[in-house]
Amino acid sequence: MNSTSHILLCIASVFLLTGSVACADDGSGLWLKYHRIADEARLRTCRQSFSTAVVQGDSATLRIVREEIKRGLDGLLDANLSFGEAIRQDGTIIVGTVQTSAPIRSLGWDTDLEKLGPEGFLIRSSQVNGHRATVIAANEEIGLLYGTFDLLRRVQTQAALDKLNVTSHPRIQYRLLNHWDNMDGSIERGYAGRSLWQWDALPARIDPRYRDYARANASLGINGTVVNSVNANPIILQPAYLEKLRALAEVFRPYGLKLFLSIRFSSPLRPARQAGSRRGGIGNLETADPLDPEVRQWWKDKAKEIYEVIPDFGGFLVKANSEGMPGPQDYGRHHADGANVLAEALAPYGGIVMWRAFVYDAKTDPDRAKRAYKEFVPLDGVFAPNVFVQAKNGPIDFQPREPVHPLFGAMPKTPLMLELQITQEYLGHSKHLVYLAPMWKEYLDFDTHAEGPGSSVAKVTDGSLHDYAMTGIAGVANTGSDANWCGHLFAQANWYAFGRLAWDHQLSAETIADEWIRMTLSRDEQAGQTVRLMMMGSWEACISYMTPLGLHHIMQAGFHYGPQPSYARAPREDWTSVYYHRADSNGVGFDRSSTGSNATSQYFSPVRERFDDVATCPEKYLLWFHHVPWDHKMASGRTLWQEIRRHYDAGIEYVKQMQETWETLKGRVDPEIFSHVQTKLETQLQDATLWRDTCLAYFQTFAQE
C-alpha cells in the first residue's frame, strides 16, 4: 500500500468514531444546503454575531440578498433572523452601497471601494452607531449579492468570523458557462440528462430550476451564460425564440448573470433546401460574406432587434470553419473578417464576440496540434477591440492531459479567453470521480515565458501580462435535468471549482475542495480530509488508467468514453487513435520535436527547448512531443514500456483505494449520496480495468517484451 492510500484509510478509520448522518439527499441543493451547525459552541457564537440584518433598498437583486441571508442563516443557525431599518443592537448585518446606506457612508470606506470595481465587495467587522456589526459593502448591488454568498460560505465552512476584513473582486471580467445544449433538448457532451431549457414551454412557463441555476452561479460569481450549442441552430435568432430568451434573461438579470448566444455564421442566408444542412440560415441573402455590405447590415439589424428585446444581452459565441460549421473562409476571408462584422454590429450596445480558436484544417499543417496557432497568430491586432479569441487549454481537444495551448502568450494585441471543459467528455463522462481543479491549476500556473519568467497562463487570461482591455474565461457546462444537476455528485465540485477559480485563480485546488466538501457532504474535519485526499489524486489516476505519459486521443471514436487505441481510418487520419499514438515496433508517441512536426517551435524559449529534447521533456508530456523507443530508460530506471504498464496499474489501484475509503464513510455521509457514489465507483473500477487491459494488450503487440 502506498503512502497516500495509507493516509486515506487511517483518516477514514478515525472518522468511523465520529457521529452519523440520518437524512436523505438527492444532491439537488448543490453547495447551498445551509444545514444546521452541529457544533453547539460555534452555533452560539454565530447566533450572537448574526441576530438581525439591515438591507436598504427594494430592487430585485436586494430582495434576493434579503432572501439569501434569511434562508442561509435561518438554516445554519436554526433561527428566525429579523430585518430592521436601523442598527439598534449588536450582531447586526449591514448590507449596502455607499450611495444607498448612510451607516456605510459614515465608515469612510470610499477609497477602498473605488479599487473594487462594480462586482467587488468588502466584508468587515465594525462598530456602527455604537453596536458590533458585520458590514457587507460594495459599489453596485451585484457586489452585495456576491458578498452575501461569501459571508454565508464562511459560516458554512466554519471559517473564522471574528475580526472579518475581507476584500474581494474578480480577477477576470467575463466569467461564463458555455452550454452545448441543442434546441431539441439534447446536450452535446452532456451526461446529466436533458437540457435545462424547455424551449417549448417558454416564455409562458418559467421552470423553477432556472432561478436555482442563476442562484448557484451567483454564489460562485459566474456572470454570464451561453445557453445554446456552439454547433448553433440559426432559429435561435428568430423573433419567437428571442421572446423565449427574454424570459430567461429576466430570471437571470437580478443574479448578475448575462445571457449570451452561440450563433451560426451563415444565419443571413436563406434557409437551406436540404434538411439538416449547416449552410443555411434564417435570412434572405444569397451570401454570408462578411465583407458584403448587405451582410454587415443584416447583422446590424439583428443586433438592434436582440437588444430591443434583451437590453443587457452579452454577445455572440462563434464556432466557424470548424467541424463543418460555416465561416468566413467559405468566402476567402479570414477569421478576423468574420469576427469583426459581428463585433461592429454589437459594439454600439457594449456586446462582445467570442471567436473560438478550435480549428484544424488539414491543409494548414499535417500536425493538427499546430493549426490554430498558424491560423490565428498572423491575425494578432487585426481583430476588433470587442473580440475575444477563445482558445482551449490545450491544442487538441480537452484531453485528460495536454501541454498548454501555444496561443497563450502569442497574441499580445488580442484578448484571449481561456476555454475549459467542466463536462467530462474525455474523462469518464458522469461515471468517473475526477476532480478537475488540479488540472485547471496546472494550466493557469503554467509559465509560458512569453514576456520572460513569470508569464503564466493566468496572467495572460486576467490581462495583467499584455494589458488586455477585456478579460474572460469560459467553462463548458456539465449541468442537465438530473436531480443532482451534474449526473455524478462529485461532478458538482467541478462546476463549483470553475466558478471559484474564475473569480480568483490564485485559490488552491485543496482550498476549493475543502469548501465544497464542507458545504456539500460534511463539516466534520476527519471526513473532509478523507474526501479531499480522494479528490486530489483522482485526476492523475484517470490519466494513468487512460492516457499516461503524454498519450492522447485514443478514446472511442465519436463517443469519447472507452478505449479504442486500434482505431484507424482514411482519409481523415487526424481523427483516429493511431494518428496520435503512432505505435510501431520502434516505439510510441507523436514526434513534435524539431526533428518531427516541429510543434515545439510554437512555444517560447526556454519552454521550446525543454519540450524539444527527450532528455528534458517532462515525462507527463513525453509521448505528446516524442516518438520514444520501448526500451527508453525513464527517470525511475524502468523502460518506457515498463513505465506505461506501471501507470495503468497505478490508476486502477487508486480507484480501488477510493472505493475502500468511501466504504469507511458508510453511515457518516448522507445514505442516498453514499449509495450513489458507491455505484459510480464500481463502474469506474470496471472502466479503468477495461482501459488498462485494452491498451496494454494493443501496445504489447508492438512492444514485444
Domain end, chosen from 168, 192, 223, is at 168
Flag whether pLDDT at 12 surpasses 70. Answer: no
The mean predicted confidence, pLDDT, of the chain is 95
Of 488, 547, 476, the closest CA to residue 520 belongs to 488
Q: Which H helix or E strand runs over 296? A: helix 293-309
Q: What percent of the chain has pLDDT over 90?
A: 91
Q: Are residues 420 and 548 in the same domain?
A: no
Q: Residue 4: which pLDDT band, with cuts at 50, 70 and 90? A: low
Residue 20 domain flag: no
Helix count and strand count (H, E) for the chain: 21, 14
Shared domain for 187 and 63, answered yes or no, is no
Query: Range of 562's domain?
Result: 543-590+627-703
Q: Strands of 92-97's sheet, edge to edge?
A: 82-83, 52-55, 92-97, 131-138, 121-128, 165-168
Instruction: Return d(Cα 367, Cα 374) in angstroms, integer.
Output: 11
Do 507 and 547 sit in the same domain of this protein?
no
> Does pLDDT of 6 surpass 70?
no
Does one domain contain both 147 and 263? no
pLDDT for 11 beyond 50: no
pLDDT at 17 over 70: no
Is residue 614 in some structural domain?
no
* Residues 135/107, Cβ–Cβ less than 8 Å: yes
The percent of the chain in helix, strand and coil, each rounded to the nearest 5, is: 40, 15, 45
Domain count, the chain: 3
Residue 144 placed within a domain: yes
Query: What does the pLDDT read at residue 21?
Result: 45
Residue 584's CATH number = 3.90.1330.10
Report the pLDDT averaged over residues 554-564.
95
| pLDDT score of 24 more than 90 | no
Same domain? For 499 and 635 the reply is no
| Average pLDDT, integer, range 138-149 | 98
Looking at residue 15, its pLDDT comes to: 43
pLDDT at 7 over 90: no
- Decide: 499 and 177 in contact? Cβ < 8 Å: no
In a domain, 434, yes or no: yes
- Residue 1, in any domain of the structure: no
From 521, 553, 574, the end of a domain falls on: 521
Sign of the torsion angle spanned by Cα atoms 481, 485, 486, 487: negative
Q: Is 237:191 a contact under the CB 8 Å cutoff?
A: no
Cis before residue 385, ω within 30 degrees of 0? no
pLDDT (0 to 100) of residue 569: 87
Query: Is pLDDT above 90 for 281?
Result: yes
What pLDDT, on a 0 to 100 scale, did the predictor assign at position 283? 97
- Condensed to tens digits (0 to 9), the pLDDT of residues 233-246 reads 999 999 999 999 99
In single-letter form, the type of residue at position 428 comes to G
φ/ψ region of 504 (left if φ > 0, alpha if ψ in -120 to 50, else beta) reads beta
DSSP-derived secondary structure letter, 469: S
Of 474, 23, 476, 54, nearest to 229 by C-alpha is 476
256 shares a domain with 118 = no
Whether 275 shows a pLDDT value over 80: the answer reads: no
Q: Which of 677, 678, 394, 664 is nearest to 543 (CA)?
A: 394
CATH number at residue 36: 3.30.379.10
Is 428 found in the same domain as 470?
Answer: yes
The answer to whether residues 488 and 390 belong to one domain is yes
**Shared domain check, 133 and 49:** yes
Would you name the residues annotated as active-site residues? 323, 397, 425
Give CA–CA dist 577/568, Å, rounded.
6
Side-chain half-sphere exposure of 604, counting CA atoms within 13 A: 19
Q: Is residue 621 part of a domain?
A: no
**Average pLDDT score over residue span 96-113:** 90
- What's 365's domain CATH number? 3.20.20.80
* Residue 506 φ then ψ, to 5°: -85, -10
Q: How far is residue 679 from each of residues 513, 664, 683, measured CA to CA in Å?
A: 22, 15, 7
The domain boundary, picked from 103, 138, 168, lies at 168
pLDDT for position 20:
41
Reported as a pLDDT band with limits 50, 70 and 90, residue 69 is very high
Residues in the chain: 705
Task: Judge whether 382 lies within some domain.
Answer: yes
| pLDDT, mean of residues 470-494 | 98
| pLDDT for position 66 | 97
Confidence of residue 10 (pLDDT cuts 50, 70, 90): very low
If asked whether residues 563 and 442 sit together in one domain, one would say no
End-to-end CA distance of the chain: 27
User: Do 445 and 502 sit in the same domain of this protein?
Assistant: yes
Q: pLDDT confidence of 14, banded at 50, 70, 90?
A: very low
CB 678 within 8 A of CB 664: no
- Which pLDDT belongs to residue 8? 53
Q: Indicate if 149 and 296 belong to the same structural domain.
A: no
The answer to whether residue 533 sits within a structural domain is no
Closest CA to 586 of 481, 703, 447, 473: 703
Segment (H or E) for 167 = strand 165-168
